[in-house]
Copies of this chain bind each other. A is one copy, B any other.
Amino acid sequence: MVTHVIYGGDYNPEQWTPEVWEEDARLMQEAGVNRVSLGIFAWVKMEPAPGQYDFTWLDQVIDLLHAHGVQVNLATPTASPPPWLIRLHPEILPVTADGVTLWHGSRRHYCPHSRAYREYASRLVTALAEHYQNHPAISLWHIDNEYSCHENGCFCDASVEAFRQWLQKRHGTLENLNKAWGTAFWSQTYTDWQEIQAPKRTPAFINPSQKLDWERFCSDSWIDCFEDQKVILRRTTPNIPITTNFMNFHRSLDYWKLAAAENIVSLDCYPDTSLPDWRVESGMGWDMMRSLGGGRPWLLMEQAPTHVNWRQRNTTKRPGIMRLGSYQALAHGSDGIMFFQWRASVAGAEKFHSAMLPHVGTDSRVWREITSLGGELQKLDEVLSSRVQAETAILFDWENWWALEGQAKVSNDIRLLPQVKAIYTELFQRNISVDFAHPESDLSRYRLVIAPHVYLVSERSAKNIDQYVAQGGTLLMTFFSGIVDDNDHVRAGHMPVPFSNLLGLWIEEFVAYAEAQTNVVEAANGQGYPCELWSDIIRLTGAEVLGHYREDYFAGSPAITRHRYGKGTSYYLGTELARDGLAWLLDQACAEAGVRPVLEAPPGVEVTSRSNGTHTWLFVLNHSDVEAWVKLPAPATDLISGSRVESLMQLGARQVAILRLS
C-alpha cells in the first residue's frame, strides 16, 4: 500500500563505486526521493558466469537505500542478456525479416522464442526472487524493460516454429487456417504446417491475414515472456505487485492484453517539449495508461528531467516544464513521478540522457527543480488512490491498428494515431476527460463513445457497439470503420456492414483523395469546412444529413450524418475534416450526449479532477505563458501552497494548483 506520492528514478549502482552509493543515498534524501528502480540492466552483474549468482553488491545497495527511506522497484534484468550467454547460445540473437542477425553490444538482443534465453532468464528470476522475498525495501517488481522496444519481430527458425505452434492453437486445423488467411488467393494454400513461414521478405505484398496473425503472435510472445517471470514471482513473493514499463502508444505490443496481466500499469513517457502540443501527446498517454489499468492509479515510471539523447536534436525542458508535466501525470491518475535516471552515466549509449543528478552536479537548474518538486510532492499524499472519472471514451484496439495500417488499402494514408490525436486534442482543449476503451469492453458507463477508424471489428465488437447505441449511448464513428472481420476479410455488402443499420446509411463507393485534392463540407450550421484524404459516397437509409460535399462528382451527397437508433444516437463522419469542422462536429456530439467539461477555463488552462468518494481534487495547470484567472465551482484548498482559494483563482504562467474542493 503506497502511502506517499512515489518519487525517484532508475538507479544503476553497478556503474558506480560504493563511495558514490553513499553520496547517492544522501542526495536522494535531500531530493525527497522515496523510490528507485534497481537492477534493470544488471544481469551480468547478478550472474557473472552461468549459474553463479551474486547479489552481495545489491544487498549492500538495497540496505543502504532502505536505511535512507528509499523503497525499491526491483527489476528482473532480462532485457539485456550478458555476452557470455550469447557466446554459449548465439541462437538467442534476433534475426530480421531479411535474415540479418542483430548482435549484442546494445540491448534487447534476444529472440523471445529462444528456449535457452527463457531458461536462463527463469533461473535468474527465481534466484533473485528467492533472495529478496523477505526484504522490506522491495515494493514492486519491474519485469524486464520496455518489451518490444526496438524489435519488430524475430524471424529465426525457432520463431518460425513457434509461429506454427501458435497458429495451430489459434486455428486448430490447416483448413481453418487456409480459410482465415484466404489462401485461395495467389495460390497460397498450405497442405502441411511445416510449409508455413513467418512474413519474411517477399517479392510483393504479403498475405495481410498472415501478417496480422504474425503481429498477434509477436505481441503474444512478449506476454509469454512476461508470464514466465510472473509465475515465478507470484509464487515466491505473492504480496509484491508486478509491473512492466510501457511506452505510450507502442504499436507492436497489445497493451490491453499485457496490462490485464500486471498489478499496476507503469509508463515511460518522453514527450518532445519543443513541440507546442507536447501536453496533448502526454495527456493522451496518461489517459491510455489509466484506461489500461481499468481506472486504477498508475505510475509514471520514467520521464526525462530535461533532455533525452535519442532524437536528432534533444531539446531542454524549459524552466517549469518538467514540473508542469509531472503534475499533469498526477492530474491524469498517476500516483508517482519517476525519472530516467538518478545519476547521469559517464559511459555507454545513454550518457547524454539527462538525469536527476546531472554530470555538472548539484549547482544546477536541473537539480534545483528536482529537489523542489520532491519537496512539493510530500504535500500531496491525500490524493493517492483517488480516481479520474470520464464520461467519454475513444475506442482503441491494437488488432485494428495492425490491420488498418497494413499494406494495399484504398488509401494508405489513413493512419490511426493522427486521427485519434485530432479527436483527443479537441476534447483535451475543452477539459473533457477521456478514457480509451477496447471495442469489446463494457461501454455502458459512457455518455459518448468515439470510434475512429475501427476498420477491423470482431463479431463481438460489432454487437457491443450496436448494443451501446441501442441502449441509449451516443456514438461518433469515422470513415473506414467496420470494413473487415478479425481475419482482415472484407465484410462485403452494404458497408459498413456491421454498422449500416446503426448508422442508417451505406457506402456505395470509397473515394481516396490524391495528395493535392481537397473538398469542402457544407455543414448544417451553414459553414463550409475544408476536408481532405477521403470521401465515402453515402446512401442514406434513415440517417439525416449534417453536412454535405460542395465539390467533385459527389457534390451534394452526405459527408456527416446523424441517426437515431434504439434509445441512442449515432454520428458518422465520412471524410477527414480539418480542425474547425471536427471541433463543430464534436460539439454537436457532446451536446447530444450531455458530456461536459470538468471546468470551463481560459485557453491553455487544463483542469482535471480526481476523487476518492470522500474528496474531490481539481488539478489546474496553466500551460500558457500568461497568467490566467480560473473560476472555481466552490472554495477550495491548494495543497501545494496550503492556502485557501475562493471562487476566483489567479494562476501564473506555467503554474499549477491542486485544489481540494470543500
Contact = CB atoms under 8 A, between A and B. Distances in A.
A80 interface: yes
Q: Which of A77, A203, A344 has the most CB of B within 10 A?
A: A203
A153 to B, nearest CB: 12
A412 B511 CA distance: 38
Interface stretch (A93-101, A262-270, A586-594): A93-101
Stoichiometry, copies per complex: 3
B507 A12 contact: no
Given A105-B197, A106-B205, A82 B43 contact: no
Contacts of A188: 44, 80, 82-83, 104-105, 348
A596 interface: no
A316 B203 contact: no
Interface stretch (A331-339, A420-428, A491-499): A491-499
A348 B185 contact: yes
B203 A151 contact: yes
Given A149-B204, A187-B44, A195-B84, A314 B351 contact: no
A69 interface: no
A347 B196 CA distance: 18
A98 B310 CA distance: 22
Contact of A509 (B208, B366, B488): B366
B347 A181 contact: yes
Contacts of A209: 347-348
A187 B360 contact: no
A206 interface: yes
Contact of A186 (B41, B87, B103, B190): B41
Contacts of A169: none
A243 interface: no
A494 B360 contact: yes
A75 B622 CA distance: 69
A364 interface: yes
Nearest to A408: B309
Contact of A360 (B195, B365, B509): B509
Contacts of A81: 187
Contact of A347 (B43, B182, B359): B182
Nearest to A87: B195
A311 B512 CA distance: 11
Interface string A101-124: 111111111000000000000000
A184 interface: yes
A313 B512 contact: yes
A189 interface: yes
B410 A307 contact: yes
A346 B492 contact: yes
Nearest to A309: B408
A1 interface: no
Interface string A251-294: 00000000000000000000000100000000000000000000
Interface of A: 12, 14-15, 41-45, 48-49, 77, 80-84, 86-87, 94, 98-109, 149-151, 181-192, 194-197, 199-210, 274, 306-307, 309-316, 318-319, 344-353, 358-361, 363-366, 407-413, 487-495, 506-515, 517, 537, 553
